[in-house]
C-alpha cells in the first residue's frame, strides 16, 4: 500500500464520520413513517376504519392501535406494483360507495355490524378486483398485527436471542 492510497482512504473515512451524524439525524420514526405515503387523509381514515373492523380493539389493542395503517401504506408503496396500488385505491372508493349505497352513511360512520356486512359484500363480490382488494387488505392487516412488537412479545413469547451462549467450556476428548 502506498502513501497516496492511505491518505485517500483516511480522507474518505474522515468525510464519512463528519457526514454520519447529519445522515443519522434524518432517520426518525416520524420521518420514516411519513415518507412514501400515497393515500389522502380521507383514504387513510377509511383504511383505518376498515382495519379496525377486521381486528378491533378489545381487552387487547387492536390493529389500529398497533400502527397497522402505516404498515399497510409502507408495504403498498415499497412492495407492490403500481397496478396493485391503483386497485387498492379503487377498492377504498368502492368500499365507501358501497357503504353509502347500503346505509346512506360513510363507512366510518356505520355501526360495527354494518361495516362487517359491507366487508362481507366485498369478499363475496362477483368482481374479482374487489375480492383481490379485500384479500390484500385482510392479509396485510393480519400480517401487520401478528408481526407487531406487542403481539410478538406479549402473546407469542418471541425471544430474539433464545438460549444462552457459554463461550468457555471444557471439552473432553
Listing DSSP states for 19-52 in one string gives HHHHHHHT--HHHHHHTT--S-HHHHHHHHHHHH
Low-confidence ranges of the chain (pLDDT < 70): 1, 12-37
pLDDT number for residue 10: 78
pTM: 0.72
Could you report the per-residue pLDDT of 95-125, keeping only the tens digit for each? 999 999 999 999 999 999 999 999 999 999 9
C-alpha span between 99 and 21 (Å, rounded): 49
pLDDT number for residue 54: 95
Query: Which residues lie closer than 8 Å to 116 by C-beta, 6 or more apart?
Result: 53
pLDDT number for residue 15: 65
pLDDT number for residue 95: 94
Query: Checking phi first, is residue 160 left (phi over 0); if not, alpha (psi -120 to 50) or beta?
Result: alpha
pLDDT number for residue 26: 47
pLDDT number for residue 2: 79
98: three-class secondary structure by DSSP: helix
Cα-based angle 135, 137, 139 (whole degrees, multiple of 5): 65
Q: Are 91 and 129 in contact (CB under 8 A)?
A: yes
pLDDT number for residue 137: 95
pLDDT number for residue 31: 52
Q: Are 123 and 111 in contact (CB under 8 A)?
A: no
Amino acid at each position: 500500500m502506498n502513501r497516496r492510497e492511505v491518505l485517500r482512504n483516511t480522507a474518505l473515512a474522515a468525510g464519512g464520520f463528519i457526514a454520519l451524524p447529519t445522515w443519522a439525524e434524518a432517520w426518525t420514526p416520524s420521518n420514516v413513517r411519513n415518507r412514501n405515503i400515497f393515500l389522502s387523509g380521507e383514504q387513510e381514515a377509511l383504511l383505518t376504519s376498515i382495519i379496525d373492523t377486521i381486528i378491533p380493539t378489545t381487552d387487547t389493542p387492536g390493529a389500529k392501535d398497533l400502527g397497522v395503517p402505516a404498515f399497510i401504506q409502507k408495504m403498498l408503496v415499497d412492495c407492490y406494483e403500481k397496478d396493485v396500488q391503483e386497485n387498492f385505491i379503487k377498492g377504498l372508493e368502492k368500499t365507501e360507495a358501497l357503504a353509502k349505497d347500503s346505509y346512506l352513511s360513510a363507512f366510518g360512520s356505520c355501526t360495527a355490524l354494518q361495516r362487517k356486512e359491507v366487508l362481507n359484500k366485498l369478499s363475496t363480490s362477483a368482481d374479482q378486483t374487489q375480492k383481490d382488494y379485500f384479500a390484500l387488505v385482510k392479509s396485510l392487516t393480519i400480517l401487520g398485527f401478528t408481526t407487531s412488537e406487542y403481539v410478538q412479545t406479549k402473546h407469542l413469547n418471541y425471544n430474539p436471542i433464545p438460549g444462552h451462549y457459554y463461550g468457555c467450556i471444557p471439552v473432553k476428548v
